[in-house]
Amino acid sequence: MPQASSGETMPEWLQQRALLSPERLALVFGAERWTFAELHRLVSACAGRLAAAGVRAGDRVALLARSSAGFVRVAHAVPRLGAVLVPLNVRLTPSELGWQVGDCGAALLVYDDANAAQAADVGELVPGLRCLPMIELTERLNDKAVEALDRLDSSAIHSIVYTSGTSGRPKGAMLTFGNQLWSALGSALNLGLHDDDRWLACLPLFHVGGLAILIRSVVYGIPVVLHDGFDPAAVNRSIDEGGVTIVSVVSNMLQRMLEARGNRPYPPSLRCVLAGGGPVPRPLLEECACRGVPAVQTYGLTEATSQVTILAPEDALGKLGSAGKPLFTTEVRIEGEDGRALPTGQAGEIVVRGPTVTPGYFNHPEETERALRGGWLHTGDIGYLDSEGYLYVLDRRDDLIVSGGENVYPAEVEEVLRSHPAVLDAGVVGLPDKRWGQRVVATVVLREDTGVSEQELLAFCPEQLASYKVPKRLRFAKGLPRNAAGKLLRRTLREWWSQESLLL
């Protein structure tokens, strides 16, 4: 993959960290722990195995695995060879995964034991794709010296992280080494950095928010306490007994942590609970404030390497509901439909500029040109800035559904529903849900004389969609509301769901 060099280089992160603080704790996973020197040695061995498998600079290496110590090693080893990491969402179906692997032109798919069957299916869908068990890279080590990068070009692509697209197909946001480094530095300048910090990673590492924690750990020289999934009791236990000072969650995870906690206060060592993945409900923030939980809202997106704004801990109570101010190197403004900056307090599209912003989507120049206009990333999200420069996010894109922290684009679900022979048309929206933030619902127009039931259509969806994308409810209608240009009017659809008498 051709990459233009900026001429700006830096030492390879993990190698430099192992030199600077070799005995500091780097990673905790279950009962196991590794120092930075130990992690550096294991990553070097993993890179050697990848090189022996034929991985070369510029290759895309897809990683299909749950969060684990092995994931961490592979995630650090791939960029060390000058190859590009492509983390894949393990909740996707083989057809969804196959599309992403084919779209990025991956040379290799690395998978863990839990995803072996999925990997085999993807291998059948993508001709010529090589698949390699992760255990071959992390357990059966080859310590033979390998030519690896000892310096990183800040403009080179570190990773491609897929994010949903309005067309119903995901897009691979290219994130450079410079993007990742500036994101880590900007976050530290907003949140501060303490000698005893430990960052709990219970978000999936295949998400940009989880991946960013791994990089911050190395840049800051602090340990990651890694969980293989989210369990509220386990998270609370790590905070109580594992010295965790920072944890990143989405709002429904935070709610479940509080429910599992009962009336017991959190220890003073917990200094920050970063809540993102969509606007956090105000009642939840108020409950955190009443209980002394240091929850701060953050706003970010894949195309900006995770965080864009953070509400600093000292502002958490005074600016309840705000997503905070931008990272030190990031600019945020609000634009109207004419592209002009809007005044304070007026809602419009949130646009972002700075060194954390992606150079574009892999292999999608038109999408890149549409998103990056005039030097600004146009997020499609709606919000406003107050008189002190604090951002308030009103909606995560008009069409986007955020369910349990997972992004669901209606167009993708509609495409699957329309592929059923009985379906003439389909419209999908998100409705408020106390537990998950939003739930997916669908309105369907059937072809004449089909007789298909709601249950049959809902059973059809999991064959092609991850579980979180499958509609929770489905209703039939004679037609869908569209404007003169044929565009689906989702706001009207939501009103239909609030007045179900209008549905058949």
Mean pLDDT of 215-223: 98
Q: Which residue has the tokens 């999934």?
A: 229
Q: Which residue has the tokens 């190395």?
A: 218
Mean pLDDT of 200-213: 95
* pLDDT-above-90 percentage for the chain: 71
Q: How far is residue 402's CA from residue 250's CA, in Å, rounded to a whole number? A: 10
CB contact at 8 A, 308 and 301: yes
Domains of the chain: 1-11+35-155 (3.40.50.980), 401-502 (3.30.300.30)
At 55-100, the pLDDT tens digits run 999 999 999 999 999 999 999 999 999 999 999 999 899 999 999 9
* pLDDT-above-70 percentage for the chain: 93
Q: What does the block give as tokens for 384?
A: 């406003």
Mean pLDDT of 340-367: 95
- The pLDDT confidence band at residue 165, using thresholds 50, 70 and 90, is very low
Instruction: Give pLDDT, residue 503.
Output: 45
- The pLDDT confidence band at residue 167, using thresholds 50, 70 and 90, is very low
Q: How far is residue 38's CA from residue 262's CA, in Å, rounded to a whole number? A: 39
Q: How far is residue 263's CA from residue 284's CA, in Å, rounded to a whole number? A: 15
* Straight-line distance from the first to the last Cα atom of the chain, in angstroms, rounded to the nearest whole number: 52
Select the more confidently predicted residue: 231 or 168: 231
- The pLDDT confidence band at residue 502, using thresholds 50, 70 and 90, is very low
Select the more confidently predicted residue: 477 or 283: 477
Region of 481 please: left (phi>0), alpha (psi -120 to 50) or beta. beta
Mean pLDDT of 130-154: 81
pTM of the model: 0.84
Q: How far is residue 396's CA from residue 235's CA, in Å, rounded to a whole number? A: 27
Instruction: Give pLDDT, residue 415.
Output: 80
**Residues 50/55/60/62 CA torsion (nearest 10 deg):** -30
Instruction: Give pLDDT, residue 161.
Output: 97
pLDDT at 237 over 60: yes
Select the more confidently predicted residue: 361 or 402: 361
Neighbours of 326 (CB within 10 A): 26
Average pLDDT, the chain: 90
Select the more confidently predicted residue: 124 or 312: 124
**Residues 333/337/342/345 CA torsion (nearest 10 deg):** -90
Mean pLDDT of 98-124: 97
DSSP state of 109: E
**SS3 for 291?**
helix
Instruction: Give pLDDT, residue 140.
Output: 61
Instruction: Give pLDDT, residue 6.
Output: 56
Mean pLDDT of 183-194: 94
Instruction: Give pLDDT, residue 90.
Output: 93
DSSP state of 24: S
Q: Which of 231, 230, 224, 223 is nearest to 204 (CA)?
A: 230
- The pLDDT confidence band at residue 217, using thresholds 50, 70 and 90, is very high
Q: Which residue has the tokens 């990031």?
A: 330
Mean pLDDT of 249-277: 92
Instruction: Give pLDDT, residue 491.
Output: 80
At 20-55, the pLDDT tens digits run 999 999 999 999 999 999 999 999 999 999 999 999
In whole angstroms, how far apart are CA 54 and each of 51, 59, 74, 87, 98? 5, 10, 15, 19, 21
